């Protein structure tokens, strides 16, 4: 019998009525002949409440106890979902992460899944269980302690189960009806994609699109797990949502598939750094040790043996980055005259696997921004992505202009071959 994984996010299980609605979807898949593994998040707002309780109780908390508290939200949802299915005469049982077991590393608050043995659930399915409801976001460390996977970790849990149990598909139910060419709140021309390649989805997720957690897409791409993103609030339709799949399963593509943005960016520049071998390591080593997530990097042309080094990072890491650089300067590791932080910037990116075989994407992008008088501060590229750092006040204008330039409102629009 085929296995199907269904994951329901916090908004999809926010109330008992919504849990019942989700359970009906699960029951329909059971009736279609599937054995179903359901992954549930905590009810909407519950994890934030639990985190708040931890911070109020102990500002410098023990990470092991933090995980014990914040993982409890998913346990509640799993139990309620199993009870609801039982009331519908669907044989269901709830499982916490340690009961499966979901084996993880010991990095509390940011654990990574290492293995999911299948024997336990396989035996229960063989005994007649039709639905296993799993508390997402959690597992068990080698020391036998409860761990959590980081915010959004239930997506990763779902993909990991789909890979472990060779599921035909992993359906991610959320409050949006699929993956769009850009944020519909910014432009009404945004179009829902029927299909998107793993690589494109990974880039969009890492660049600010919040539909799927980045780690879940990485895992799906590695194991070839088909993902379908769809809304738990729309009427049932087998063709609903967006399928995230292999590139060769997509018949026709735009050159650019989507425009992503991140408004929570900062640009930091070290002025008059000695231009000598090892200076980059002397700068970015301390930043890495401080846990600063560096993105874009630009080094100016050297004049008189000195240069300026610019990098971007999340805006909430500016203080940490500043402390790391000041510490490196005080210890004699680097020398610079000033550190300038610009916290009024945003990152805008265009993504598309079609960029591999088409020229002129960068030229069209830069012309579109020029026509709107948007100045580019930093540029970075990859095989299927171009990102620019601009003033935050122009972010929405830039997104709209790029969406129009590449014709993303219609399939097959955009640049000519």
Strand order in the sheet with 378-382: 297-299, 306-314, 258-274, 338-351, 385-391, 378-382
| Residue 249 labeled ligand binder | no
| Residue 8 labeled ligand binder | yes
| Residue 118 labeled ligand binder | no
| Residue 174 labeled ligand binder | yes
| Residue 189 labeled ligand binder | no
- Separation CA 198–CA 246 (nearest Å): 6
Tell me which DSSP letter residue 326 carries: H
| Residue 69 labeled ligand binder | no
Tell me which DSSP letter residue 131 carries: E
How much of the chain is in helix, strand and coil states, percent to nearest 5? 40, 25, 35
| Residue 274 labeled ligand binder | no
| Residue 74 labeled ligand binder | yes
CA dist 134 to 31, 112, 158, 210, 223, Å? 20, 17, 9, 23, 20
Reading phi first (left if > 0) and then psi (alpha if -120 to 50, else beta), residue 272 is in: left
Q: Give 67's contacts (C-beta < 8 A, 6+ positions apart).
A: 108, 109, 138, 145, 146, 147, 148
Q: Give 146's contacts (C-beta < 8 A, 6+ positions apart).
A: 64, 67, 68, 71, 97, 98, 138, 139, 140
| Residue 105 labeled ligand binder | no
| Residue 38 labeled ligand binder | no
| Residue 46 labeled ligand binder | no
Coil/strand/helix, residue 306: strand
How many Cα atoms occupy the beta-carbon half-sphere of 378 within 13 Å? 24
| Residue 175 labeled ligand binder | yes
348 closest CA partner among 383, 314, 394, 410: 394
Known binding positions for ATP: 7-10, 174-175, 180, 185, 210-211
Question: Binding-site residues, please?
Answer: 7-10, 47, 74, 174-175, 180, 185, 210-211
- Binding-site residues for substrate, please? 47, 74
């Amino acid at each position: 019998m085929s296995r199907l994984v269904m994951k329901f996010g916090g908004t999809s299980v926010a109330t008992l009525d919504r849990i019942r609605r989700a359970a009906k979807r699960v029951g329909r898949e059971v009736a279609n002949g599937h054995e179903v593994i359901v992954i549930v998040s905590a009810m909407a707002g519950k994890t934030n409440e639990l985190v708040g309780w931890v911070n109020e109780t102990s500002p410098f908390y023990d990470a092991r106890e933090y995980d014990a508290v914040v993982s409890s939200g998913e346990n509640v949802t799993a139990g309620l979902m199993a009870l609801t299915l039982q009331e519908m005469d669907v044989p269901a049982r709830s499982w916490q992460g340690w009961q499966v077991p979901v084996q993880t590393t010991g990095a509390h608050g940011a654990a990574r899944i290492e293995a999911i043995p299948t024997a336990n659930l396989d035996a229960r399915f063989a005994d007649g269980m039709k639905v296993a409801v799993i508390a997402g976001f959690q597992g068990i460390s080698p020391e036998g302690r409860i761990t959590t996977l980081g915010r959004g970790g239930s997506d990763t849990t779902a993909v990991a189960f789909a890979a472990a149990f060779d599921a035909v598909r992993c359906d991610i139910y959320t409050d949006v009806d699929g993956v769009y060419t850009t944020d519909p709140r910014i432009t009404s021309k945004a179009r829902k994609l029927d299909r998107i390649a793993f690589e494109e989805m990974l880039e969009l997720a890492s660049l600010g699109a919040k539909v799927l957690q980045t780690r879940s897409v990485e895992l799906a791409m590695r194991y070839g797990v088909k993902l379908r993103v769809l809304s738990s609030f729309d009427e049932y339709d087998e063709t609903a949502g967006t399928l995230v799949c292999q590139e060769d399963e997509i018949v026709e593509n735009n050159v650019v598939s989507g425009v992503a943005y991140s408004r929570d960016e900062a640009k930091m520049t070290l002025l008059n750094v000695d231009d000598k071998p090892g200076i980059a390591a002397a700068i970015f080593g301390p930043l890495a040790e401080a846990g600063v997530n560096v993105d874009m990097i630009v080094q100016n042309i050297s004049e008189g043996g000195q240069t300026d080094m610019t990098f971007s990072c999340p805006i909430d890491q500016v203080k940490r980055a500043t402390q790391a650089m000041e510490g490196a300067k005080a210890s004699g590791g680097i020398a610079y005259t000033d550190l300038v932080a610009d916290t009024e910037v945003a990152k805008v990116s265009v993504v598309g696997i079609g960029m591999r075989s088409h020229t002129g994407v960068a030229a069209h992008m830069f012309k579109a921004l020029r026509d709107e008088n948007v100045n580019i501060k930093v540029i970075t590229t990859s095989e299927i992505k171009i990102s620019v750092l601009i003033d935050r006040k122009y972010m929405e204008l830039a997104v709209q202009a790029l969406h129009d330039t590449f014709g993303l409102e219609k399939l097959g629009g955009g640049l000519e071959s």
